[in-house]
């Protein structure tokens, strides 16, 4: 027997937005794990030290791998050297963009802003529009019609494969950046960017464009793409690992629920992946308590795990689960994974009327 397919309109301007509001899902009260107030305050404490240390290490590794890539240019070793450099450039920058956008990586806010702006350029992503888009993502995580960063189901393999080198998303971002250079915003951006931030958006885009133009002129003048291999192109050839990380965050899980344990996935990763991803593998923890800095997420995980589904044991296992879910959703659009909870956990909260997982 075939399963009925009921596709949704994922646009933040479509009919699903009004349906979500009528259902009480818009800017609603979300489930949170019960953590003692004093302990939560300790976990939310911001520090400059860990982020300064990790940023120095990041740029140090980036410089060393860049030197290796420069001297390997013209040999087969360049493939490995630029893979390492590109991963540190794009994958690590994407994670820094994310955490500094939350303003929690550093205690000192100008440090967050500087690293956020640098990382935004490194991944060629409009800085201010992406900040406000991500605010909406956290306010209404995977609520159809309200979350501008939601992944429409079933995800299309051609887009996923294209994004392994950021071809699809990167092209869309560059089109937006070009619009911003000329003082224009698209329909979605007008919905979530405050008018007071329009001018900042446009000047960020113009600065990005000038840097890229400078790199292009440099390449032409020396008749080599080598400068672009260090600035600009790593955004595309170095994003492979980040896309794999990002695929584990929400894909295959529930839409239109008010419990991050239902729509977000925590995955155990090794120390290298956690450094590149800045602990965002603790993704349930991050969504439930977004003001907890990245360096405190492992400790937050320990506080929460008795009330959460077991973490997926590895990146590889998570990707296999995601692959299986996507394949199932191609046949059954309404399919969602609902992970089992430990006996110590409180019931899931599916909707506004479901305060403790029990319909009333």
Q: What is the pLDDT of residues 93-107, one digit of tens each?
A: 999 999 999 999 999
- Angstrom CA distances, 131 to 20, 57, 125, 241, 348, stand at 23, 25, 10, 22, 29
pLDDT tens for 261-298 read 999 999 999 999 999 999 999 999 999 999 999 999 99
pLDDT (mean) for 12-21: 94
Instruction: Report yes or no: 210 and 136 within 8 Å, Cβ to Cβ.
Output: no
Q: Which residue has the higher pLDDT, 239 or 5?
A: 239
Q: Percentage of the chain surpassing pLDDT 70?
A: 96
Residue with more model confidence, 215 or 352: 215
- The answer to whether position 70 is within a domain reads yes
In sign, the C-alpha dihedral spanning 91, 93, 98, 104 is positive
What pLDDT shows up at residue 360? 30
In a domain, 41, yes or no: yes
Closest by alpha carbon to 357, among 287, 290, 307? 307
Domains: count for the chain? 1
Residue 345 lies in a domain: no
DSSP 282-350: BHHHHHHSTTS-GGGHHHHHHHHGGGSPPPBS-HHHHHHHHHHHHHHHHH-TT----PPPPTTSPPP--
State which residues form the domain around 278: 26-331
CA 23/CA 49 separation, integer angstroms: 44
Q: Is residue 340 one of the residues assigned to a domain?
A: no
Question: What is the structure's pLDDT at 307?
Answer: 98
**First-last CA distance in the chain:** 33
Instruction: Specify the pLDDT at position 352.
Output: 87
Residue 341, domain member (yes or no): no
Domain membership of residue 47 (yes or no) is yes
In a domain, 229, yes or no: yes
Q: Report the length, in residues, of the chain.
A: 360
Rounded to an integer, what distance in angstroms lies between the CA atom of residue 6 and that of residue 256? 14
pLDDT(3) > 50:
no
Q: What does the angle CA 350 – CA 354 – CA 359 come to, to the nearest 5 degrees?
A: 110
Whether 147 and 11 have beta carbons less than 8 Å apart is answered as: no
In 10 A of CB 332, how many CB atoms?
A: 13
Report the pLDDT value the prediction gives residue 355, as an integer from 0 to 100: 54
Given this model, what pLDDT does residue 6 score?
A: 64
Is 336 part of a structural domain of the chain? no
Tell me the pLDDT band of 357, cut-offs 50, 70 and 90.
Answer: very low
Q: Quick check: 123 pLDDT over 70?
A: yes
């Amino acid at each position: 027997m075939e399963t009925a397919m009921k596709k949704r309109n994922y646009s933040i301007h479509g009919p699903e937005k009004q349906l979500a509001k009528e259902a009480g899902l818009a800017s609603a009260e979300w489930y949170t794990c019960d953590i003692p107030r004093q302990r939560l305050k300790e976990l939310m404490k911001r520090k400059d030290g860990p982020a300064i240390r990790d940023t120095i290490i990041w740029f140090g590794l980036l410089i060393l791998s860049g030197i290796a890539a420069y001297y390997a240019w013209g040999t087969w070793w360049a493939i490995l050297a630029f893979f390492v450099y590109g991963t540190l450039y794009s994958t690590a920058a994407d994670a820094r963009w994310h955490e500094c956008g939350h303003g929690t990586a550093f205690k000192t806010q100008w440090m967050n802003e500087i690293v956020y702006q640098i990382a935004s350029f490194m991944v060629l992503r409009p800085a201010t529009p992406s900040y406000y888009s991500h605010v909406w993502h956290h306010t209404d995580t995977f609520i159809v019609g309200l979350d501008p960063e939601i992944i429409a189901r079933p995800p299309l393999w051609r887009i996923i494969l294209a994004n392994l080198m950021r071809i699809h998303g990167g092209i869309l971002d560059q089109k937006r950046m070009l619009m911003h250079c000329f003082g224009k915003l698209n329909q979605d951006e007008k919905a979530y960017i405050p008018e007071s931030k329009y001018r900042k958006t446009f000047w960020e885009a113009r600065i990005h464009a000038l840097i890229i133009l400078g790199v292009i002129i440099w390449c032409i003048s020396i008749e080599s793409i080598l400068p672009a291999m260090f600035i600009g192109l790593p955004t595309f050839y170095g994003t492979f690992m980040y896309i794999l990380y990002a695929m584990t965050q929400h894909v295959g899980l529930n839409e239109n629920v008010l419990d991050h344990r239902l729509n977000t996935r925590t995955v155990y990763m090794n120390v290298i992946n956690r450094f590149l991803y800045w602990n965002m593998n603790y993704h349930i923890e991050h969504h439930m308590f977004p003001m907890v800095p990245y360096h405190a997420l492992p400790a937050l995980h320990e506080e929460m795990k008795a009330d959460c589904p077991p973490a997926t044991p590895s990146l590889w296992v998570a990707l296999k689960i995601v692959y299986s879910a996507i394949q199932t959703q191609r046949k059954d659009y309404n399919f969602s994974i609902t992970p089992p909870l430990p006996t110590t956990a409180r019931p899931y909260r599916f909707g506004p009327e479901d305060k403790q997982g029990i319909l009333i």
